[in-house]
Each structure stands twice: as C-alpha cells, then as structure tokens.
Amino acid sequence: MSQNELLQFVNCRLVRNHQLVLEDLWVRNGKIINPEPVFFDEKQQAHRQIDCGNSIIAPGYIELQINGGYGVDFSHDVDTVAEGIEKVAKELITNGVTSFCPTIVTSPPETYRKIIPQVNGKTKGAQVLGLHLEGPFISPQKKGAHPENCIRDIDKGIDTLVDTYSNLSNVKIITIAPEKDPEGTVTKALTQMGITVSLGHSVANLSQGEVGVQSGARLITHLFNAMLPFHHRDPGLVGLLASNNIPPGQEIYFGIIADGVHTHPAALRIAHRTHPNGLILVTDAIAALGLGDGKHHLGQLELEVRDGKAYIAGTNTLCGSIAPLDTCVRIFKKATNCSTVYAIECATLHPASCLKITETKGTLNFGADADFVMLTDDLFVKSTWISGKCVYRYTVEELAALKARPIEQLCECI
C-alpha cells in the first residue's frame, strides 16, 4: 500500500457507537478517516475498493494478560524474550489480536532486569502496548502458579518496585495485592507515572480493595481467580463491582477468563449483569496456547496440559489458559447471551478504555489506528488488519477447520 493511498472497505457492517452500522470504512496512511472532507474538500475518490462480503468489521482485539503461547513463555525464556514476543505477536494476529501486553509472572529481580529493557512496541504482528507485571507483590495465600519464594513485600514504598524491576519505562500494567499497599501510596505513585494498577492475587477484604481504587487502581486481575471467594458479609475484591465507595467518574474494569474452564458460565453471567461496562475478556494464556497436551513452563514452574486444561505439574491447580481470545469472545457470548457488539467490545473498547488509549485503539472512530478484524456472524476471524494492511487472512477451508477444532466444543457445552 503506497503512502496516501485511499482505501474504501465496502459491503460491511461496522462496530460503531455500540451497534452494527451499514457504512463503508475509509483508511489512509494507517488511520481511519472521515470521508466527508475527502469528498467535499479534496474531491477525491478511493484509490482502491475492498469488498468485505458483508463481514462484520470490528476493532482489533486487545489482550491485556497473556503469559506466552506457541511454545514461548515470556517469564522463562529470559535471554530470548524479544524473539519470543515477536513469535507470539505473529501468531496472535491469527486470532484477531492486534495489540497486547506480554505478561511476566512473579519472578526473581534479575529476571525483570533482563526482560524489561528488551521490550518495545514494534513487531511484525500484533503490537506491544507495554508489559503487564503480574507480581511479585502478591499474597502467598493466593499465589496460584506463582513461585512463593519470589513473592515480595513492599517495605520501602515505590523504591521497592524500582529496586525490583529496575526499569519501568516499558511497563503498562502492574498487578498488586492491595493489602501489600495498605495506604495506597505505591498505587498513587504508579498511577501518576501512567501505569495501570490492577488488584489481584489477593486475600484483601472489600475495604482494602476500595483503598486501592481510591488511590488510582482501575483494574482487577482475572476476577474470581486467585482472590477470596464472594461472601455476603465481606464480598472481597469481587464486591468492587458493586461498591458505592468508588471515586465519582472512575470506572472499575476487571479481566475475566472465559475459556470454558476457569470461570463457570453462571459466574460469567453474574459479572456481566453486575457491572457490564467494566468487563474485559483476557486469556491469561500460557506457552501451551496453540500446542497440544504435554509439559511446558510458566515462569519458574513446570506445568502440564492434560485434556485441554493446564495445571501446575503433578497437581490439579489450574495455571493459565490455552484458549485464544477469539474463542473466549465466542464462549462468553454463548454463556451470557449478550449481543454480538457487546461481546466484541469486551475485547476491544473496554480494554482500550481501561488503558485510556481509545483515541487510537479499541474503536473504529475517525483518527483511530486502522487496526481491525473482519468477522463472520458467528465471530470467527476472516482476516486481520494492522495500520490498514492485511496481515493475516483465512481461506474458506481453513475457517471450516477452525470451526471443527476440539476447543470449539467448549462453546457448545455452555
């Protein structure tokens, strides 16, 4: 595609303003543009028209929590993490993901110091928004698949995080157990730095969670997983979805794993009905994403995949998902009976809103990056586009094979 080439995508339905609209999509220089000035001021016609075959065009999916995939573990393959991110980025576009936050689980300080400087935004696939550091400032009682010997307390305020991570320049999200930051001072400092604080891997009660949110936290890490279960006298972090102690105008977002394994369909429905505006679909995917049963790594721990589920090796403790994000969108829609547009927005608009990047990502608004996916009516990806260029396209035969995958049986079981 040459510079200034004007593309017109026709015969499509766009996800705009919370609905599907019959409009053409206009793209120039990697951006979605308003066609009116082109017609009336520039008096130009499109250089190229692309017939979309009545496809849905949606913003590209945004993945906020992914530990690796396709044999790559971001936390374990320390010396080759840049190559690993590149490999995963190229594979994610097959699932409609156009931007993501590589996630590093609780690790020794030397791991962070090696990984963080290697990360940058540009790849030949899905673009990197910044790292999600999930730990090490979490509760050992809710460690999940995180190694307990690497978990740390915050004993010197923000200096503890600087000492641990060394470099925060490539970091977008940090998961903290709010009880480790009881006054919220670290949360405030990170928020002022433009880093999104997520609450998770925690035994915090509701009041401790509210302090975190009042200090600037905007996200909850994989709701229901690695936190105290809901209790009617103290609902814990889950209670933040219905708290009346949230600062005015501040939205609470929460990641949720709709892979057919981690979260029961009824729990998905509860979250959806309680706080629909904050729901973000995440995969929490691990190195086994895209692979079969067998042994793999998650950071410092060995894990194994058995019958399509990932466990810490030798246990029955779940430790991440192997369902791609487009599958999670389909499972979520089936479980909740929500609209097609809402299911899409849970993987596009909502994560972009959480990170405050809706001017460029997560919408098809004029001026946004031309990162989008063409979808079938049953939400299978037909093609993926980044900066107005097609980076992946499925054939009819490949789409039929995708629909026959065993993982799609999870959608049918719900």
226 a known binding residue? yes
Q: Residue 207 contacts by C-beta under 8 Å, 6 or more apart in sequence?
A: none
Half-sphere exposure of 363 (CA within 13 A, CB side): 17
262 a known binding residue? yes
231 a known binding residue? no
183 a known binding residue? no
284 is catalytic: yes
Whether residue 351 is preceded by a cis peptide bond, meaning omega within 30 degrees of 0, is: no
Among residues 77, 284, 369, 371, the one annotated as catalytic is 284
201 a known binding residue? yes
288 a known binding residue? no
320 a known binding residue? yes
354 a known binding residue? no
330 a known binding residue? no
Annotation: binding site for Zn(2+): 134, 201, 222
Residues taking part in catalysis: 284
Q: Which residues define the annotated binding site?
A: 134, 145, 201, 222, 225-226, 233, 262, 318-320
Sequence ranges of the binding site for substrate: 145, 225-226, 233, 262, 318-320
